[in-house]
Amino acid sequence: MKAEIIAVGTELLLGEITNTTTPYVARELAQLGIDVYHQSVVGDNQARLTEALQQATTRSDLIILTGGLGPTKDDLTKQTVAQYLNEPLVIDQPAMAQIEAFYQQRQRQMTANNRVQAMLPAHATPLENPAGMAVGAFYQTANQAYLLLPGPPHELIAMFKKAARPVLQAYCQAAHVLVSRVLRFHGIGESQLVTTLSELIAQQTNPTIAPYAKPHEVTLRLTATATTTATAAQLLAATTAQILALVGDYYYGEGEDNSLVQVVVAQLKQQHLTITAAESLTAGMFQSTLADVSGASTVFNGGFVTYSLAEKAHLLNIPTADLEAHGVVSAETAIAMASHSKHLLNADIGMGFTGVAGPNELEGQPAGTVYIGVALPNQTPFAKCYHFSGDRASVREQAVLMGLDLLYHQLKVSKK
């Protein structure tokens, strides 16, 4: 099957934003065994979009349009496609109810143009938008299928995972099943992972192994085709074992929507441990990340943001003389922050984050220097030093993830 992706949006044409959704869709289609031969961008212009549709129809079986499903006058993908397909626009009741609920909940006035977001061409299958208000659509003709997805990346990705992928899988009607499994790694770069696995990746055809670098982590998507789900699962299990034999040290979990923090919170729950933290350069980001996980309150009650030296002394009762003697960016301070916060909150585990986010150096230490202190139950607290590269935001994010990584490995051992 030949697919083509048309991204709609004048902001793309002007280069105001970078088109990250087309490569996302292209990768997902590759996983489904669908070939993409053409990608294009057209502005918010009905005539040029119609031309693009006409051309696509001459050369592609599956035509995917992204963007232009919103409420403004610029958004005219649905209208243009409906006209092209000779179908009226109709309202999708579940989507309409979702939009009305949104405005009711916020006690805000719904303007008439918002109704457009619940519309789709008649005879199309509506695709739920779990992250926004504009409904998507899938429409089949005798020779083609048209898939309409929203433009904002978080909406497109959420709709693709929940609604579009299953519809495309059914449409491909492969006599075979296609089963994927995502393995997640932290602490190893994509190039190192791929180099270590190069022989395996080159030899492997079923399942295929597709590496993908995300911010500060790498995932491998394994996709097996087989006549039954059970056979596909066996193929996946065998390859997973081969991969983990080589890079298992960096593996922390699996699943598309998984994350290091979810794994760590689950470990803490399972081991009935509570956690707290005192944060300097991360300034609350570690604790906030713990609270990203629904139900984190069973393991996390609170903690400290101690940005200045004075507040490290005041809130955590660390002697000022100690802070001045060792420096705030030191193993000693990270350990004191971890153990004092643990003690003050009466928690099982305390974490301390101190370092230089940048751009400027601090206490003669370069930007990117980070000490993470860990105080575990019945163990001497310790700290590790890291040297992260990247800008201020990136250094802070890496510090948070490395804190979780440290915990993950400690809790894996303590469980044994």
The DSSP bridge pattern shows strands 145-149 and 89-91 to be unpaired
Q: How far apart, in whole angstroms, are the C-alpha atoms of residue 108 and residue 70?
A: 18
Q: Which C-beta is closer to a second copy: that of 90 or that of 110?
A: 110
Is residue 1 part of the contact set for a second copy (CB under 8 A)? no
Sign of the Cα pseudo-torsion (10, 16, 21, 22, in order): positive
Q: Which C-beta is closer to a second copy: that of 58 or that of 378?
A: 58
Task: Find where tokens 């020779």 sit.
Answer: 143
Q: Which C-beta is closer to a second copy: that of 38 or that of 269?
A: 38
Is residue 297 part of the contact set for a second copy (CB under 8 A)? yes
Q: What angle do CA 62, 72, 93 make, to 5 degrees?
A: 65
Q: Half-sphere exposure (CA, 13 Å, Cβ side) for 375?
A: 28
Return the closest-CA partner of residue 180 out of 118, 144, 231, 233: 233
Q: What tokens appear for 255 in the block?
A: 């699943």
CB of 267 to a second copy, least distance (A): 18
* 100, 128, 254, 311: residue in contact with a second copy (rule CB under 8 A): 311
Residues 6+ apart with CB under 8 A from 54: 84
Q: Which of these ranges, 212-220, 231-239, 245-253, 327-335, lies near a second copy under the rule CB under 8 A? A: 212-220
Is residue 194 part of the contact set for a second copy (CB under 8 A)? yes
Is residue 41 part of the contact set for a second copy (CB under 8 A)? yes
HEC per residue, 55-71: HHHHHCCEEEEECCCCC
CB of 92 to a second copy, least distance (A): 18
Cβ neighbours around 375 below 10 Å, total: 25
Site for a second copy in 153-192 (CB under 8 A): 154, 189-192
Residues 6+ apart with CB under 8 A from 318: 312, 333, 336, 337, 340
Is residue 320 part of the contact set for a second copy (CB under 8 A)? no
Q: Which C-beta is closer to a second copy: that of 253 or that of 390?
A: 390
* 138, 171, 300, 371: residue in contact with a second copy (rule CB under 8 A): 300
Is residue 93 part of the contact set for a second copy (CB under 8 A)? no
Length of the chain: 416
Q: Do 357 and 396 touch, CB atoms closer than 8 A? A: yes
Is residue 19 part of the contact set for a second copy (CB under 8 A)? yes
Is residue 107 part of the contact set for a second copy (CB under 8 A)? yes
Q: Which C-beta is closer to a second copy: that of 101 or that of 122?
A: 101
Residue 36's Cα: distance from chain center in Å?
24
* 15, 143, 272, 378: residue in contact with a second copy (rule CB under 8 A): 15
Burial class (CB in 10 A: 0-12, 13-18, 19+), 295: exposed
* 46, 55, 79, 414: residue in contact with a second copy (rule CB under 8 A): 55
Q: What tokens appear for 68 in the block?
A: 């232009």
* 8, 32, 36, 338: residue in contact with a second copy (rule CB under 8 A): 36
CB of 312 to a second copy, least distance (A): 8
Q: Which C-beta is closer to a second copy: that of 92 or that of 139?
A: 92
Is residue 212 part of the contact set for a second copy (CB under 8 A)? yes
Is residue 106 part of the contact set for a second copy (CB under 8 A)? yes
Site for a second copy in 347-406 (CB under 8 A): 357-360, 368, 387-389, 391-393, 396
* 91, 97, 101, 238: residue in contact with a second copy (rule CB under 8 A): 101
Query: What residues form DSSP beta bridges with 232?
Result: none
Number of residues forming the site for a second copy (CB under 8 A): 104
Alpha-carbon distances, residue 90 vs 77, 78, 153, 270 (angstroms): 14, 11, 25, 49
Return the closest-CA partner of residue 393 out of 368, 366, 364: 368
* 199, 249, 292, 363: residue in contact with a second copy (rule CB under 8 A): 292
Is residue 301 part of the contact set for a second copy (CB under 8 A)? yes
Is residue 322 part of the contact set for a second copy (CB under 8 A)? no
Residues 6+ apart with CB under 8 A from 396: 281, 282, 283, 285, 357
* 93, 195, 227, 320: residue in contact with a second copy (rule CB under 8 A): 195
Q: Which of these ranges, 82-90, 162-170, 237-245, 275-283, lies near a second copy under the rule CB under 8 A? A: 275-283
Is residue 206 part of the contact set for a second copy (CB under 8 A)? no
Is residue 89 part of the contact set for a second copy (CB under 8 A)? no
Residue 263's Cα: distance from chain center in Å?
15
Q: What tokens appear for 81 in the block?
A: 């496609």
Q: Which C-beta is closer to a second copy: that of 17 or that of 230?
A: 17
